[in-house]
């Protein structure tokens, strides 16, 4: 069961109770789960620790069984550490972190589905580099995860977080919206700015199809996590500058679901359309699985 069914309801609850958004989500989630707020906090803290451990335990030499994934995060890290990247260390860390987590998923390591395994790289990719840059403490990161969870819960209740149901806009798009809201929180933004950031991020990925090569959550999924992380940063920056989504967040979520329902089945995680239907992808599938 979702904590809140709309962003409007979530913001109104915060206003009526004078609770910060993260605490409103935590308390309502704990109540619905039948646990104490302290237990809920420890569960969320555990998710943060898994994200940190997965990032720290990344092995550049590890490859997925298909051979499609592995080693790219190390390439990205070498690029920005050498001073040769276009956008510098912070952006480089975000891109590298997104690839690390997604490659860990493809290589069957332990990750946090946030909100899905296929989109697991987005949220940690913005939170962990942010924490290193701004020396953010653990408690604030846990609170940011509650903010992300609050918006993710609304998306899951009102629309979908499933690529098979609504395309990759519902997976990486939702993760990007969650991450954008969390970033706004960490940087001192208001609840309304968090909501605007989530809406902007989701709009930016509207219509994104789910077309995994050979049905594996690797290509193009891993690199889309990097794009989703950068989209979250963009949306957060816009919202913090006072830029609003002209379309209310709930209407954006509804539109995403409607777009997902319009997508043909070939573009919803079946591996039958998009780049999954390219000659190279078809040949790989035949070679890997057999004709």
User: Would you say residue 161 lies in a domain?
Assistant: yes
Q: Is the pLDDT of residue 150 over 90?
A: yes
Give a yes or no: residue 100 inside a domain.
yes
Residue 205 binned pLDDT confidence (cut-offs 50, 70, 90): very high
Please give the pLDDT value at position 3: 73
Question: Span 245-258, mean pLDDT?
Answer: 98
Task: Choose among 213, 217, 2, 228: nearest CA to 94.
Answer: 228
The secondary structure of the chain, three-state, reads CCCCCCHHHHHHHHHHHCCCHHHHHHHHHHHHHCCCHHHHHHHHHHHHHHHHHHHHCCCCCCCCCCCCCCCHHHHHHHHHHCCCCCCHHHHHHHHHHHHHHHHHHHCCCCCCCCCCHHHCCHHHHHHHHHHHHHCCCHHHHHHHHHHHHHHHHHHHHHCCCCHHHHCHHHCHHHHHHHHHHHHHHHCCCCHHHHHHHHHHHHHHCCCCCECCHHHCCCCCHHHHHHHHHHHHHHHHHHHHCCCCCCCCHHHHHHHHHHHHHHCCHHHECCCCCHHHHCHHHHHHHHHHHCC
C-alpha dihedral, 208 to 209 to 211 to 217, nearest 10°:
60
Q: Would you say residue 261 has pLDDT above 70? A: yes
Residue 1 covered by a domain:
no
For residue 204, pLDDT beyond 90:
yes
Q: 2 lies in a domain?
A: no
pLDDT at res. 103: 98
In a domain? residue 101: yes
Q: Mean per-residue pLDDT for 151-160?
A: 97
Q: How many residues in total does the chain contain?
A: 291
- Is the bond leading into 34 cis (omega within 30 degrees of zero)? no
Q: Given the structure tokens 């109540």, which residue do they identify? A: 31
Token digits of residue 257: 């679901």
Residue 189: pLDDT band with limits 50, 70, 90 = very high
In a domain, 277, yes or no: yes
Q: What's the pLDDT score for residue 1?
A: 39
How far is it, in rounded angstroms, from Cα 102 to Cα 120?
6
* CB contact at 8 A, 99 and 73: yes
CATH number at residue 39: 1.10.4100
Q: Which residues pair with 268 in a beta bridge?
A: 210
**pLDDT > 70: what percent of the chain?**
99
User: φ, ψ for residue 210 (rounded to 5)?
Assistant: -110, 105
Question: What digits encode the pLDDT tens for the residues 162-173?
Answer: 999 999 999 999
Name the residue among 5, 12, 11 with its Cα closest to residue 32. Answer: 5
Average pLDDT, integer, range 57-76: 97
Mean pLDDT (the chain, rounded): 97
Tokens coding 263: 């997508």
- Distance CA(72)–CA(220), nearest Å, equals 13
C-alpha of 147 from chain center: 13
**Does position 218 have pLDDT exceeding 80, yes or no?**
yes
198, part of any domain: yes
Q: What is the pLDDT of residue 211?
A: 98
Query: What pLDDT, on the 0 to 100 scale, is given for residue 146?
Result: 98
Compute the distance between CA of residue 144 and CA of residue 147 in angstroms, rounded to an integer: 5
In a domain, 193, yes or no: yes
Q: How many domains does the chain have?
A: 1
Residue span of the structural domain in which 256 resides: 7-289
- Rounded to whole angstroms, the Cα distance separating 236 from 225 reads 16
**pLDDT tier, 2 (very low <50, low <70, confident <90, very high otherwise):** low
Predicted local confidence at residue 9, as pLDDT: 98
């Amino acid at each position: 069961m979702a904590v809140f069914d709309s962003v409007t309801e979530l913001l109104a609850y915060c206003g009526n109770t004078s609770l910060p958004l993260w605490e409103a989500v935590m308390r309502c989630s704990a109540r619905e789960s039948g646990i104490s707020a302290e237990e809920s906090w420890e569960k969320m803290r555990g998710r943060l620790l898994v994200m940190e451990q997965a990032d720290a335990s990344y092995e550049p030499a590890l490859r997925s069984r298909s051979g499609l994934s592995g080693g790219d995060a190390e390439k990205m890290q070498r690029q920005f550490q050498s001073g040769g990247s276009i956008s510098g260390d912070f952006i480089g860390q975000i891109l590298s972190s997104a690839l690390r987590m997604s490659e860990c998923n493809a290589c069957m390591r332990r990750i946090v589905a946030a909100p899905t395994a296929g989109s697991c790289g987005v949220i940690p990719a913005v939170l962990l580099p942010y924490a290193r840059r701004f020396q953010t403490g653990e408690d604030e990161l846990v609170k940011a995860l509650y903010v992300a969870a609050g918006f993710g819960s609304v998306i899951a209740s009102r629309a979908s977080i499933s690529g098979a149901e609504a395309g990759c806009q519902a997976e990486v798009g939702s993760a990007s919206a969650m991450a954008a809201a969390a970033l706004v929180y960490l940087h001192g933004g208001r609840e309304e700015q968090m909501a605007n950031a989530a809406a902007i991020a989701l709009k930016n990925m509207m219509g994104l199809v789910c077309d995994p090569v050979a049905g594996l959550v690797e290509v193009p999924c891993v690199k889309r996590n990097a794009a989703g992380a950068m989209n979250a940063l963009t949306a957060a920056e816009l919202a913090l500058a006072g830029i609003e989504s002209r379309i209310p967040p709930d209407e954006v979520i509804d539109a995403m679901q409607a777009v997902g329902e319009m997508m043909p089945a070939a573009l919803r995680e079946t591996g039958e359309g998009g780049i999954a239907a390219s000659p190279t992808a078809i040949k790989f599938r035949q070679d890997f699985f057999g004709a």
